[in-house]
Chain A
């Protein structure tokens, strides 16, 4: 049961929020949807979740259009929204019971699933507390738990770690990985945190301004920058003269200066170290360290759009 998105487009007045997006999700895989705020990720997900109809294009489940027949997908789909979609005045148990009941789950089955889910999200000891008294991380975990009650085969997670502490963030990432490994739940994970997507997703789609600008496995995407190396050097002291010399060097690009740390990209074919040593000697500044860095998804995004992911 594969989900295929074909030429999905959503226009709001004259703005193309999502423009001719094509992607697919196979059973049991984690797919990352990476992009800055306003890239069109949430709109894509809303269409994928059958919440809003596309202006053009379609989504297929086993080659059946879910725009025409959304019920088939809804049965096997869980959605974790970006917002905390819970009743603060109710306890975790009461929330789970309500959101389970709207999936028309038999009472006994629902009670069993509630216990399993509470264990999965690590809230079994806090289940009788009102949600409004939970920390941000606990609310996020329950937000995920609610989407897991009816054992969905596909789980869509829209920025599930926004605004929480690193510990809760790790807990959520581990939960996502465990869900995929133990229960083979296919997960579509959207985020603007590239390290999260890089950590959990096998395949990645990078979105910007409503379009998919790159896709593939992590290595495939990073190979976009395979012709270049990112080099990070540390100086003994700050030197404006040395920076000026680097800026005038035609073989370097993407030069970033942060006090004594300087990063730049240079062609992989070029051995730049001797040149660098000569330039530093001429400027009268000593190099403390020299490091060749692997390109990150952030670098790829910067390369493709000329902007940083979190701008």
Chain B
């Protein structure tokens, strides 16, 4: 089995163009659609606070990297939302804030969360300053840091998706979506080797060798999985190092992508068993991958899709469950229980596709 794997990787090294091109395509598209083209989103701010507090607050808000907060009059700010010049206006008030949101804005929950955090920190700072107002030697930042290090209460936000709001991060979505979509082609390239080997008698040489049939299949499954996994790790690492926020779940993304890749390997085996020839296999993959990506929400989040038929069809796409898992361990901070369902569906699909695929391949060999 090791010899088959070694040879497969040697062949990949000799002809790495396909692998490299797909990796570049994923990075380019994920960058263009999710990261690169996005200029800072303008958000109008109007305030009931005094000027000093408002300026201090704006300084804090400008810490949010993707958003450009600009101060306006109340009337002006609301008019901007009405006219569609901005999607959101933030109304700063004493101890709370208000959001005026256009219906097309999808990131309300995320923005609310960020503002809550900043508001909390800011009001805490103000409270400490007021409390130690008579003692100028007190360093407010030190007090806050020590309070953070030894909090009276440990509060952990495991999930904020239950509040009914749709949480979406376009950067991560395009990165995950395109990675899951394009890696199908990389895995398919690996499986295409099997189709070619079966046509040229190399597969038969293996079958009549001292290596068992199970070992031959296992080596090929492992190879196809590994090239897909290598690509996913490479792409996600590039963006992680490049500063994309994985919400502390980068390591977990590398784990939860495993069942998705196994499912894609199984699906490719199934298609190979039906196709028979390299030409047909490539055609089937090309025809299937794009709809699977569209239905699975790789291009746009399924939450904005209103068609019931498309939503119903999305259940057959492994990308749906792959995205659920990746979003789950990053932006949604889902618990293990919430991940069980997509995980289970992917494993079920893997067993079904692989089972049918290998059986059909074996049957065809007997003919």
Residues in chain A within 8 A of chain B (CB atoms): 12, 49-53, 70, 74-75, 77, 79, 81-87, 89-90, 94, 98-99, 101-104, 130, 146
Contacts and interface: CB of A to CB of B under 8 A. Distances in A.
Contact of B210 (A50, A81, A103, A130): A103
Interface of B: 3-4, 7, 10-11, 14-15, 199-202, 204-211, 365-367
Contacts of A85: 200-202, 204-205
A130 B11 CA distance: 12
B200 A102 contact: no
Given A51-B207, A74-B209, A94 B10 contact: yes
12 contacts: A12-B367, A50-B208, A51-B207, A52-B367, A74-B209, A83-B199, A85-B200, A85-B202, A85-B204, A94-B7, A98-B3, A99-B209
B15 A83 contact: no
Ranked 4 nearest A-B pairs via Cβ = A85-B201, A81-B201, A102-B209, A101-B3
B235 to A, nearest CB: 25
B14 A103 contact: no
Contacts of B11: 87, 89-90
B202 A102 contact: no
A175 B364 CA distance: 35
Given A52-B365, A85-B205, A104 B211 contact: yes
Given A75-B210, A89-B11, 13 more contacts: A74-B208, A81-B205, A83-B199, A86-B202, A87-B11, A89-B15, A98-B3, A101-B3, A102-B205, A102-B206, A102-B210, A103-B209, A104-B211
B205 A52 contact: no
A152 B280 CA distance: 36
A210 B17 CA distance: 46
Contacts of B211: 102, 104
Contacts of A86: 202
B205 A79 contact: yes
A142 to B, nearest CB: 13
Nearest to A87: B11
Contacts of A90: 7, 10-11, 14
Contact of A53 (B199, B204, B366): B366
Contacts of B209: 74, 99, 102-103
Contact of A84 (B4, B14, B200): B200
Contacts of B210: 74-75, 102-104
Nearest to A101: B3
B10 A102 contact: no
A87 B202 contact: yes
Contacts of A82: 201
B3 A102 contact: yes
A73 B211 CA distance: 14
Given A84-B200, A90-B7, A98-B7, A52 B366 contact: yes
B14 A89 contact: yes
A89 B210 CA distance: 24
B4 A102 contact: yes
A86 to B, nearest CB: 7
Contacts of B7: 87, 90, 94, 98
A98 B11 CA distance: 12
A102 B7 CA distance: 11
A89 B11 CA distance: 7
A127 to B, nearest CB: 16
A70 B206 CA distance: 14
B365 A83 contact: no
A90 to B, nearest CB: 7
Most buried by A among B199, B201, B211: B201
Contacts of B365: 51-52
B75 to A, nearest CB: 70
Contacts of A89: 11, 14-15
Contacts of B15: 89
